[in-house]
Amino acid sequence: MSVVPNPGNGKITVPELLRRKAPAENSQKIVCLTAYDYPTARLLDEAGVDVILVGDSVAMVALGYDSTLPVTLDEMIHHARAVRRGTKRALLVADMPFGSYHSDTAESLRNAVRFVKEASVEAVKVEGGERRLELIARLTEAEIPVMGHVGLTPQSVNALGGYRVQGKTTDSAEQLLRDARAVEAAGAFAVVLEAVPRELAAQITRELRIPTIGIGAGPDCDGQILVVHDLLGLTFDHTPKFARQYANVAALISSAVRSYCEDVRSGAFPSDSESYHSGSTAKKDEPVKISIC
Ligand code: KIV
């Protein structure tokens, strides 16, 4: 059997992301976004996003919870399967939800394997630094690439007492550095730095051999990630200052639906041309095109 290590089809792989870390002047930044369903994943993938994360932020932005804690492993796998169907080129990463990797390592490994078997994800993400050393090493040893996540880790909201910028004092900056180093030493292929001062994120980025992916961590990271609903303007609450809004999809949806309500109430929808007619000369029933992708 001939083995083609790099088929050159543009598919983003873990080794390809590690190469992007190369200190070359023209090394391209890694573009990451979250997605939770098929159409969004497909649009992101076709637009050239490098990494699609099925984030547990789905709990807040799509399921209406006020934290990421309630979303279950089965729900995450359900979303990951939909995103898988829309993703061809990007690397697909899934967040392990709260509670799915917090007891023993064997159970955590079984849960990570479910993502690979049932949703064909290519990597999983876990929150936490030094505390996750053993887990990250075990998953990596089992051939499941791991993305780390340090700084503001939303699954720790109760322990942290809220969502706050991390690493602002000397002590917490040193802890964050230790966390990032631990994630790398354990074998993670990349690490998300969330809500940390730009200067600290730059220092971590310089020190690590794996790529750093920033969210609220300034422009010096090797890549950036945002929650897609924040970027699209499809949220209801206050968004953090780092979440640049590129569109106002909430306003678009609202206006389209209001127009539809008006048209149905006034009888302007549907029109005659949007209706089927009886008595046509066709011998068979007219085929109905349903909205499929
Ligand atoms: O769940 C999520 O969306 C995340 C990213 C914001 C990094 O963890």
pLDDT tens string 45-88:
999 999 999 999 999 999 999 999 999 999 999 999 999 999 99
Are 148 and 125 a contacting pair, CB within 8 Å?
A: yes
pLDDT tens per residue across span 167-209: 999 999 999 999 999 999 999 999 999 999 999 999 999 999 9
Pocket test for ligand 1, best of 61, 125, 196 (most atoms within 8 A of CB): 125
pLDDT at 1: 46
pLDDT at 24: 63
Instruction: Please report, rounded to a whole number, the percentage of residues in the chain having pLDDT higher than 90.
Output: 88
Helix (H, G, I), strand (E, B) or coil at 34: strand
- The residue among 92, 89, 109, 91 whose CA lies nearest residue 100 is 109
**Distance in angstroms (rounded) separating the CA atoms of residues 8 and 82:** 26
Q: Work out the number of other CB atoms within 10 angstroms of the CB of residue 117.
A: 10
Cβ of 93 closer than 6 Å to ligand 1, yes or no, is no
CA 40 / ligand 1 centre spacing (Å): 16
CA 269 / ligand 1 centre spacing (Å): 41
pLDDT at 98 > cutoff 90: yes
pLDDT at 5: 47
pLDDT at 102: 94
> What pTM was estimated for this model as a whole?
0.94
pLDDT at 246 > cutoff 80: yes
Are 54 and 121 a contacting pair, CB within 8 Å?
A: yes
Are 53 and 84 a contacting pair, CB within 8 Å?
A: no
pLDDT tens per residue across span 140-155: 999 999 999 999 999 9
The Cα-based distances of 264 to 255, 272, 274, 277 in angstroms read 14, 14, 13, 20
**Distance in angstroms (rounded) separating the CA atoms of residues 17 and 5:** 15
pLDDT at 103: 92
Q: Which residue has the higher pLDDT, 19 or 290?
A: 19
Cβ of 230 closer than 6 Å to ligand 1, yes or no, is no
**Distance in angstroms (rounded) separating the CA atoms of residues 221 and 204:** 9
Cβ of 224 closer than 6 Å to ligand 1, yes or no, is no
Bridge partners (DSSP) of residue 123 are 93
Kindly report the length of the chain. Answer: 293
Pocket test for ligand 1, best of 75, 225, 235 (most atoms within 8 A of CB): 225
pLDDT at 293 > cutoff 80: no
pLDDT at 173: 98
What's the mean pLDDT in 273-282?
84
What's the mean pLDDT in 263-275?
98
